[in-house]
Amino acid sequence: MEPIYLTEVTEIGPEVADFLDAGLLILFEAGAPPELAEISVLHTPVSRREEPPEPGDTVTFGDREFRIKAIGYKAWQNVLDLGHAVFKFEGLEEKELPGEIHLEGPDAGTLGEIIAPGLRVEIRAVAS
């Protein structure tokens, strides 16, 4: 599997657990404004490529893997420009909003157990 994006968690906003319970995870690059940091997992990118991921590619949070089902047309540009990603964990194959990445896999609520500073988040292409 080819790496597309690799980042490391630096800080967890106090409202992240509530969003995870609702099946949503928001990432922002470290240095986001305080009002965004409250609801986000802040991170520092390690590597990335310009080409976006596609449905079928995977996102891993530590040892938890989720398959990408759909990606909005603005989602990847947001990741590249702001380190901003909105992951929805309901497995829809059609995008609801242009900035969302829809994932299928284990329950998002279980991520609260492992999301901590130092956790690596990686997006990988299944086929190159």
Is residue 73 included in any domain, yes or no? yes
Q: Is residue 122 part of a domain?
A: no
Q: How many CB atoms lie within 10 A of CB 104?
A: 15
Asked if pLDDT for residue 66 goes beyond 90, the answer is yes
The pLDDT of 36-55, averaged and rounded, is 96
Is position 30 within any domain?
yes
Predicted model pTM: 0.91
Structural domain boundaries enclosing 69: 2-116
Q: Establish if 84 belongs to a structural domain.
A: yes
Domain presence at residue 124: no
Residue 125 within any structural domain of the chain: no
Q: Kindly indicate the confidence band of residue 85, based on its pLDDT and cuts at 50, 70 and 90.
A: very high
The enclosing domain of 34 has a CATH number of 2.40.33.40
Please tell me the total count of domains within the chain: 1
Question: Is residue 71 a part of any domain in this protein?
Answer: yes
